[in-house]
């Protein structure tokens, strides 16, 4: 008898209820209770702990297409939320196979216990290939994930909750994902046998606006010689300019860029208008486009994974990138003084832009995630080069 057969004969202790009323049964993992969110799929084969702590996934239930998740356990280092104790906002996780015992020297806790500690509900024993095919065909559904060890569920209540959840369009989730106060960042990237380092000063003063920033972005900025100050998502242009930055970084984050843009776009527009070198990633890329006069759209299924090929028009090269976004910039909406610099080779969607008359650029993907493994690290040098050139011209 296969594991799947065994699960099929065991009463379900977890359910995934879709907004159309479909019910998927499985075995519960992690926290108990129920949570509602948008169900997406991620095609990465590694890095599940980084994915599950990425604030950009706030409001979402993640389906992993790779069947074996959890076999290297978890630790206290591979966490992407800036506040390591904070809830990342992820609503749940969907797995094909159950979680095995960890087999890695860095493992400090097995994934099931770790999910419990972070209040993330999980379900396993799901045909994730079929669920992924459904999402690709019909688009990302809303749904409820529920875990009850005794197998008792109020199914009608779950169906109602799934059907009534409004979805991510119009949701500003960056405020909840962001830091609440300014702070300095000095930690550098992990090195074999040494762990993380600590930067001593930096050539360039950079203000990073935290819309749900990942720790490794900040580490790579520190590696690149930046003295980084992190500010909350709701910071004003005056707050930013008071630090006299050589450059401004616009971070990744969750939710609808137009909703977050209701308070951030005017700030970004003012910063750009001052001619300050500016670099955006993911949500920061989308809001930069809005600030420059472009538009964003909700995607059919989004891009979530570590194997997305992107063509860089500025170098003529293809990068293998990590992506996590359900909204995209409408390239046709960009004004004449903005070039499309990067494009997805999966669906042709916009993946980068640069102003022709100011030191401003951004990308849709995550260059710090290194699936290539370092195809996109040049972007951090591009940012420091812009700051150096701007200082020389001042």
Residue 235 and residue 241: Cα distance in Å, rounded? 10
Residues whose CB is less than 8 angstroms from the CB of residue 64 and which lie 6 or more positions away in sequence, other chains included = 41, 42, 44, 48, 93, 94, 95, 96, 128
Which member of 80, 258, 319, 368 is catalytic? Answer: 368
**Residue 346 in marked binding region:** no
366 is catalytic: yes
* Tokens linked to 158: 């779950």
**Residue 324 in marked binding region:** yes
**Residue 56 in marked binding region:** yes
**Residue 283 in marked binding region:** yes
Residue 232 and residue 391: Cα distance in Å, rounded? 26
Residue 112 and residue 295: Cα distance in Å, rounded? 41
Which member of 40, 282, 304, 325 is catalytic? Answer: 282
**Residue 66 in marked binding region:** no
Report the DSSP pairing between strands 278-281 and 247-250: parallel
**Residue 286 in marked binding region:** yes
Longest dimension (CA), the chain: 72
**Residue 327 in marked binding region:** yes
Which member of 147, 304, 325, 366 is catalytic? Answer: 366
Residue 34 and residue 120: Cα distance in Å, rounded? 10
**Look-up of token digits 């100011």:** 358
**Look-up of token digits 């994730």:** 128
Contact 201, 227 (CB under 8 A): yes
Annotated binding site: 56, 253, 255, 283, 286, 324, 326-327
Annotated binding site for L-glutamine: 56, 253, 255, 283, 286, 324, 326-327
Hey, which residues are catalytic here?
Answer: 282, 366, 368
């Amino acid at each position: 008898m296969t594991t799947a057969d065994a699960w099929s004969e065991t009463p379900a202790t977890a359910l995934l209820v879709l907004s159309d009323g479909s019910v998927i049964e499985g075995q519960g993992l992690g926290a108990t209770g129920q949570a509602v969110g948008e169900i997406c799929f991620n095609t990465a084969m590694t890095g599940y702990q980084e994915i599950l702590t990425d604030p950009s996934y706030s409001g979402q239930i993640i389906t992993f297409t790779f069947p074996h998740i959890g076999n290297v356990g978890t630790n206290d280092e591979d966490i992407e939320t800036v506040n390591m104790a904070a809830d990342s906002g992820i609503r749940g996780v969907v797995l094909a196979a159950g979680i095995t015992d960890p087999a890695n020297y860095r493992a400090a806790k097995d994934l099931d216990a770790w999910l419990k500690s972070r209040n993330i509900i999980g379900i396993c024993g799901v045909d994730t290939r079929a669920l992924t095919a459904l999402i690709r065909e019909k688009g990302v559904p809303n749904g409820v994930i529920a875990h009850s060890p005794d197998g008792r569920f109020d199914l009608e209540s779950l169906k109602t909750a799934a059907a009534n959840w409004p979805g991510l369009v119009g949701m500003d989730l960056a405020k909840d994902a962001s830091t609440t106060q300014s702070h300095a960042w000095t930690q550098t990237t992990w090195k074999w046998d040494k762990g993380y380092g600590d930067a001593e000063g930096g050539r360039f003063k950079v203000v990073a606006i935290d819309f749900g920033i990942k720790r490794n972005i900040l580490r790579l900025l520190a590696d690149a010689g930046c003295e980084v100050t992190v500010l909350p998502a709701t910071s004003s242009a005056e707050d930013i300019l008071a630090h006299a930055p050589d450059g401004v970084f616009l971070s990744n984050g969750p939710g609808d860029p137009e909703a977050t843009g209701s308070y951030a776009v005017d700030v970004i527009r003012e910063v750009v208008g001052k001619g300050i070198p500016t670099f955006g990633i993911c949500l920061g890329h989308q809001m930069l486009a809005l600030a420059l006069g472009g538009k964003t759209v909700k995607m059919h299924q989004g891009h979530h994974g570590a194997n997305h090929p992107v063509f860089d028009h500025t170098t003529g090269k293809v990068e293998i990138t990590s992506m996590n976004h359900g909204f995209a910039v409408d390239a046709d909406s960009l004004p004449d003084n903005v070039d499309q610099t990067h494009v997805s080779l999966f669906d042709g969607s916009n993946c980068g832009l640069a102003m022709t008359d100011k030191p401003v650029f951004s990308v849709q993907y995550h260059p710090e995630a290194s699936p290539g493994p370092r195809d996109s690290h040049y972007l951090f040098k591009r940012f420091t080069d812009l700051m150096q050139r701007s200082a020389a011209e001042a």
